[in-house]
Amino acid sequence: MAKKNLTLVTEFLLIAFTDYPERALPLFLLFLFIYLITLLGNVGMIILIHVDHRLHTPMYFLLSHLSFMDICYSSVTVPQMMAVLLELGATLSYTRCAAQFFLFTFFGSIDCYLLALMAYDRYVAVCQPLLYVTIMTQKARLCSVAGAYIAGLLSALVRTVAAFTLSFCGTNEIDFIFCDLPPLLKLTCGDSYTQEVVIIVFAIFVIPACLVVILVSYLFIIVAIMRIPSAGGRAKTFSTCTSHLTAVSLFFGTLIFMYLRDNSGQSSEEDRVVSVFYTTVIPMLNPLIYSLRNKEVKEALRKILNRAKLF
């Protein structure tokens, strides 16, 4: 039975990591280090793509936007996480919590769409190489990225309105690092069926829809690679996709674990570990993945470093 005379929540208290105050400072320093590496790596990737003309291709155009999204995505959550650690808890107003949820959903959705677009780019490059220049034109690139931003905006707007028209009552404590959907749903009371259906439907249009595009693209890529007669040719062609596949596996793997599963019986500790991974670690790893496993990026970086030595 629902409890009577429950107090409506007007602000939220983030209490993640407060159970272990002795870990607060080491964790703060760790997250600060990760955040600085994230900013340095992604800003460096954007600058590298901008200054090296060999990287002025559709793939790296999309990668520059992915790096920008990773900066924004991480900046929405990591500073808040560090504030929680320093203060052993942080109070957020209803409006600020909604704004954080909107921005996190906005940037995260665009990340999904960009990774799907990058998979399509690899499909065209491998399966239709002679038509690559005519298909992936500058206009097509700009329109596809603009579409990703618009779709991300609509998705974030609908999900935020649906989430924050729910009734929150009783405790206002969120045992989490920021205002995300799973911990917010634990605070709801009353009938929330309609809003939850809307949230789930729009989640289907982001994560599973993008995964379908990625899986279908790589299915055609694998078929095309298997038709290459030499093993060396197959390995060389597939190597152009390994960085993207690694980024996709890390990002979508954690999102699926977090959002497309039954949350009943799951511990807050488990949710926190997963959320830390996809909000802090993955944005830091993406520029490393694309630089360490990509010949063009390594050559461009080597060229920039050689120029710096001359001065």
Q: What is the pLDDT of residues 271-300, one digit of tens each?
A: 777 778 888 888 898 888 887 667 777 777
Most confident by average pLDDT, 13-22, 125-134, 157-166, 265-274? 125-134
Report the percent of the chain where pLDDT is more than 90: 29
Q: For residue range 162-202, what is the model confidence (pLDDT) as tens digits?
A: 888 877 776 778 877 788 877 887 787 766 666 677 777 77
Q: Tell which residue, 39, 109, 28, has the closest CA to residue 75.
A: 39
Cβ atoms of residues 14 and 84 within 8 Å: yes
Structural domain includes residue 4: no
pLDDT confidence band for 261 (50 / 70 / 90): low
Cβ atoms of residues 208 and 45 within 8 Å: no
3-state DSSP assignment of residue 225? helix
What's the confidence (pLDDT) of residue 70?
A: 92
pLDDT confidence band for 6 (50 / 70 / 90): low
**Domain harbouring 211, CATH code:** 1.20.1070.10
Report how far apart, in Å, the C-alpha atoms of 127 and of each of 124, 134, 212 are. 5, 14, 18
Structural domain includes residue 76: yes
pLDDT at 48 over 80: yes
Number of folded domains that form the chain: 1
Average pLDDT on 106-127 reads 93
Q: What is the mean pLDDT of the chain?
A: 83
What's the confidence (pLDDT) of residue 262?
A: 53
Between 307 and 147, the more confident residue is 147
Structural domain includes residue 213: yes
- Helix residue spans in 88-206 (DSSP H): 94-127, 132-135, 138-163, 181-185, 193-204
Beta strands in the chain (DSSP E): 11-14, 90-93, 167-168, 173-174, 188-189
pLDDT at 266 over 80: no
Average pLDDT on 230-250 reads 80
Lowest-confidence region among 25-39, 140-154, 179-193, 262-276 = 262-276
Structural domain includes residue 60: yes
Structural domain includes residue 5: no
C-alpha 178, offset from chain centre: 15
Cβ atoms of residues 211 and 218 within 8 Å: no
Structural domain includes residue 3: no
Cβ atoms of residues 95 and 174 within 8 Å: no
Q: For residue range 95-115, what is the model confidence (pLDDT) as tens digits?
A: 898 999 999 999 999 999 999
Q: For residue range 75-102, what is the model confidence (pLDDT) as tens digits?
A: 998 998 888 888 877 888 888 989 999 9
Structural domain includes residue 6: no
Amino acid identity for residue 125 in this structure: A
- Helix residue spans in 3-91 (DSSP H): 24-51, 58-87
Residue numbers of the domain that contains 296? 11-309
CA dihedral 8, 14, 20, 23 (to 10 degrees): -170
Structural domain includes residue 182: yes
DSSP 272: H
Q: How deeply is 139 buried, as exposed, middle or buried, from its count of CB atoms within 10 A (0-12, 13-18, 19+)?
A: exposed
d(CA 232, CA 119): 22
Cβ atoms of residues 202 and 151 within 8 Å: no
Q: Tell which residue, 270, 277, 280, has the closest CA to residue 182.
A: 270
Amino acid identity for residue 170 in this structure: G
- How many separate helices (H) and strands (E) can be counted in the chain? 13, 5
Q: Which residues 6+ apart lie within 8 Å of 287 measured at CB?
A: 41, 42, 44, 45, 67, 70
C-alpha 156, offset from chain centre: 13
Write down the pTM of the prediction: 0.87
